[in-house]
Amino acid sequence: MSGLPADVASFIAKLEQAYPELRVAGPLLARQAPALLAFEAIAHELLQAALHLPDATAAVGKLHWWSEELQRYGAGEARHPLTRHLGTGPAAAVNADALAPLLALAVRRHDAPPPTDLAAQLAACEPAFLGVERLRASLLGSPSAAISPQASLGALTYLLRQLARLPLAGNDDTSAIPMQLLARHQMDRAALTLPGSDRDAVVREQLAAIGTALAALGESLRASAGWLARLRWRCEHWRVRPPPPGDPFSVLWSRLDRAPWNTAWLAWRELRRGD
């Protein structure tokens, strides 16, 4: 992204690849709220470590490093390009245990029992997103009322992407589909690796459940969340629309790589509403 230091821009590029709406909103953030853009990139690094690194030891090591770096930032001794880009702002001191929920998830993720339903899926991952949102409130001074709905949005966004990853070669994480849903369709987890109408039906039902949960979040996000979270909710709500007949994965991947045609207008409107 032009206008950003090269060492910051490389992290923003990863963020934009994960969330295409930031290809539109990112330049607005870079000009009007650079600290928020830097925090989004930090949050992405933290969540990637907790939720996606295959080796728990590597994940814990990376999160410990970030915990120390955030404490250095609070002491005015930031080293990482993103923490330096946060500026000074209204940041409070960062507690040494600020990343404890992410560390706990990184340790237990590979040994956790299969989730029984969507509520269990959310209960397993939402603490990490709550940790990130509490960190946001501490570093950026965002309202505490926004913590819970923004964490729920993050967790549902994660579950949507886990669902899309289901058929990828080498993906051994089958927790994207809860046990009750598999039982209702008389499938086992091994069947999730096999293309066909049975798997498609399960995926469509899980997508609908995520969509229902996202829709239920709308009112609380409009009432309390920051403008970027409201924009991201609108984009995720667009992505979970029922796919047309055929392979649902091709549609999901296409949507995850795009943003709605009116994203620029939505970003401008939400920014005018402010936080």
Taking the CA atoms of 272, 37, 87 and 64 in sequence, report the sign of the dihedral they define: positive
For the chain of 275 residues, list the mean pLDDT of each consecutive stretch of 10: 78 93 86 89 96 92 95 89 81 78 91 91 96 92 91 97 85 82 90 88 96 96 90 95 92 93 80 66
Rounded to the nearest angstrom, the gap between the alpha carbon of residue 66 and the centroid of all alpha carbons in its chain is 18
Give the residue from 18, 11, 20 showing the smallest Cα distance to 259. 20
Q: How far apart are CA 182 and CA 86, in angstroms?
A: 44
Q: Tell me, what's the pLDDT at 109?
A: 85
Q: Tell me, what's the pLDDT at 28?
A: 81
Q: Tell me, what's the pLDDT at 156?
A: 98
Evaluate if pTM is beyond 0.85. Answer: yes
Dump the DSSP string for 42-91.
Answer: HHHHHHHHHHH-S-HHHHHHHHHHHHHHHHHHHTT---SHHHHHT-STTP
Q: Tell me, what's the pLDDT at 169?
A: 64
SS3 (DSSP) at 230: helix
Q: How far apart are CA 269 and CA 274, in angstroms?
A: 9
